[in-house]
Amino acid sequence: MFPKNSDQITRNYMDSLLIETRYIDSVLPDSHLSLWGHTFDTPITTAALSHLNGTAPDGMKIYAEGAVQAGALHFVGMGPEEELRAILSTGAKTVKIVKPMADQDAILRELKMAEEAGCVAVGMDIDHSFSSNGTYDNIFGIAMKSQSYEDLDRYINSVSIPFVIKGVLSPVDAVKCRRLGAAGIVVSHHHGMVDYAIPPLMALPEIKKVSGEMAVFVDCGFSSGMDVYKALALGATAVSVGRHLMPLLKDGAEAVSDRIKEMDAELRGVMARTGIKDLASMDPTVIHPTWPGSTVL
């Protein structure tokens, strides 16, 4: 029986994608990422997690410190202003993702606070609007609400730094994000928020076609450099890793950083064996799908 769990579907699909090798004229690869005027050592970013202090004492700051040590872009989710400032004090180049709160003035305040505190970008997690029973969501006592095109336009124009829209899983939403002037999107089903969701890597090629100049991040279930390679080959600008790193928080920032660096080394290993010299040279024709009817072009 086909699984309904979107995390399992995503894992199965990712593992079903095969690669071809290309050795002639291949060189040692470069995995540096240039984005929004910054250069990062890797296209692997942290994911927009929240409430990690229950996983490890000072877990949110440790998570950020791990990104700094790995030379990676850092995403962060919900949390108070003092926590964000502690994260930024590590030197982490941080993207602050806010929830789609019913209180739109609170959204505007949070976005402006993040900009003034020194975040490199801000954004919104649009897929947390609804609960599973057809009502608006409520997260830790905070009421959520769906956001319209006009609402998002207001938020984007309220700040002068890049704005990222997280929770895009269709070309329809991607086109709207592009027209809004979003600087980036995160292709994601939020780790199985909806059963039978399209795997992000299945949705990615069609989304990439309509993404224009937007940076295209992707998350959900990435745990190796090979996983990251497949996403980049299919059009991702960068790949966000979160839950895979969470167990490492108890061992400190160095453990988080070491795993990001290991994954980046794994990525470069695949790049070398497939004739890809840098991120700009990623080629979707290296990928061969095995699921009936699937396509990478």
Residues belonging to the active site: 190
**Which residues, 6 or more positions from 152, have their beta carbon under 8 angstroms from its beta carbon?**
124, 126, 165, 177, 180, 182
CA distance 204 to 227: 14
Q: Helix (H) and strand (E) counts for the chain?
A: 9, 14
Are the C-beta atoms of 159 and 196 separated by less than 8 Å? Answer: no
Q: Count Cα atoms within 13 angstroms, Cβ side, for 260.
A: 35
Radius of gyration for the alpha carbons in the chain, expressed in angstroms and rounded: 18
Cβ atoms < 10 Å from Cβ of 211: 23
Do residues 219 and 241 touch, judged by C-beta distance below 8 A?
yes
Residues in the chain: 297
